[in-house]
Amino acid sequence: MEKIIGLLDLDYFYAQCEIIRNPSLRGKPVVIVMPSLRENSGAIATCNYEARALKIRSGMPLGLAKKLASSETVFINADKPFYEEQSRKVFEVLDFFCEKIEQVSIDEAYFDLTNPSGYEKAKELCKKIKDRIRSQLSLTCSIGVGPNKLISKMASSIKKPDGLFVVMPLELSDFLSKQKVTSLFGVGPKTEEIFKKNGVVFVSDIKKFARVDLINWFGEAIGGRLYDFAFGKDEREIEPNREKQQLSRMMTIKQDSRDYDYIVTNLDFLSELLYKQIVELKKMFKTVSLVIVTERMDTVTKSKTSTQAISSLVELKEMGHDLLRVYLNESLSNVRRVGVRVSNFDEGAGFQKKLFDYK
């Protein structure tokens, strides 16, 4: 099965968070400042596209940014706790769809899209992720998809903002030939300067040289890696580093239905699979969610939270049953897909499997 990797990058994240919090900022140049201890000093953390049109950039001194600003430009001191909370919610959405996630910053993460159906299925999943983040959090993100980390990272910037760009293995050579060498992972100002001295501007220019040339320029480790990158080779694996904030199981039932007994049989099966995972991770939880996809492909989520941590399969099933009854009482649509999710983990509580939980 060929490896498929995605890179999710939240668009101008800090500025976007501030615009969501204060919609009157929409359409104005918004600049997020990391202030320093000195008065009227600091650096630009990020800015939206309206501010970038004024040539304001991340890392720029505040004084210079103010000289470039228009009368409508809004400067806001960074509110890291707020951005971290929004980031947590975004990656909880990603947790719901993907098992292997490597978060590399507050607004970026690699995730595994490898599946038997290949790139079409991967692209479909990315669209669902983008739609869920937008509908739940009003945030846009750009996603790049490719056969490795290098390509997915490069692809994520092609259609910003709110983009989705896929590079398949057969498209690698053509894709890389159009990219500047500065788009390669690990190429900073000093590396770029050495490349320019040797006539290398585009990634394809590297192919005019031998591996030993790049090793002479940059050393064995960096030179060898950059030479491989020029041919689209990147063996770095996704290194999962996120504690799951939620666990879920979902399936398509054999026929669309509104029959409670038929649906609950499938729901119980999913609950049993999910519970085994909960036991392995020694988790206790307070919230159970029922996820329904209707025959019209609408997604409906019903949740119930207990005041005390839950540790038994019986309680998990009973809460799922209650939520299914609520759904069937409120909706006339047939169920096409059904899922069960647990969240709101109680990290301080111990876990003890009960004698009859697997019977």
Q: Does domain 186-230 have CATH number 1.10.150?
A: yes
**pLDDT band, residue 250 (cuts 50/70/90):** confident
Indicate the pLDDT class of residue 39, thresholds 50, 70 and 90: low
Q: Does domain 14-79 have CATH number 3.20.20.140?
A: no
Fold of 5-11+82-172: Alpha-Beta Plaits (3.30.70)
pLDDT score recorded for residue 243 = 65
The model's pLDDT over 135-179, given as tens digits with 9 standing for 90+, comes to 999 999 999 999 999 999 999 999 999 999 999 999 999 999 999
pLDDT attached to residue 293: 86
Q: Name, of 58-62, 189-193, 226-230, the range with top average pLDDT.
A: 226-230
pLDDT higher at 293 or 16: 16
Q: What is the pLDDT of residues 297-328, one digit of tens each?
A: 777 888 899 888 988 999 999 999 999 999 99
Residue 356 has pLDDT above 60, yes or no: no
CA–CA separation, 190 vs 117, rounded Å? 42
What is the sign of the dihedral through the CA atoms of 180, 181, 184 and 189? negative
Mean pLDDT, all residues of the chain: 90
pLDDT at 352 over 60: no
Domain covering 246-345 assigned CATH 3.30.1490.100 in the classification: yes
Residue of 108, 171, 192, 318 marked catalytic: 108
End-to-end CA distance of the chain: 36
Domain with CATH 3.30.1490.100 in the chain: 246-345
The confidence band for 6, taking pLDDT boundaries of 50, 70 and 90, is: very high
Mean pLDDT of all residues in 233-259? 86
Confidence of residue 246 (pLDDT cuts 50, 70, 90): confident
Report whether pLDDT(78) > 70: yes
Per residue in 281-291, pLDDT tens?
788 899 999 98
* 295 is an active site residue: no
Within the chain, all domains assigned CATH 3.30.70.270 are found at 5-11+82-172
Give CATH 1.10.150 domain extents, the chain: 186-230
Judged against a pLDDT cut of 70, whether residue 342 lies above it is answered with yes
Tens digit of pLDDT for each residue in 113-125? 999 999 999 999 9
Residue 357's pLDDT band (cuts 50, 70, 90): very low
CATH 3.40.1170.60 region(s) of the chain? 14-79
pLDDT for res 197: 96
pLDDT band at 348 (very low <50, low <70, confident <90, very high): low
Distances (CA, A) of 65 to 44, 47, 198, 252: 8, 10, 34, 53
Residue, of 249 and 158, whose pLDDT is higher: 158
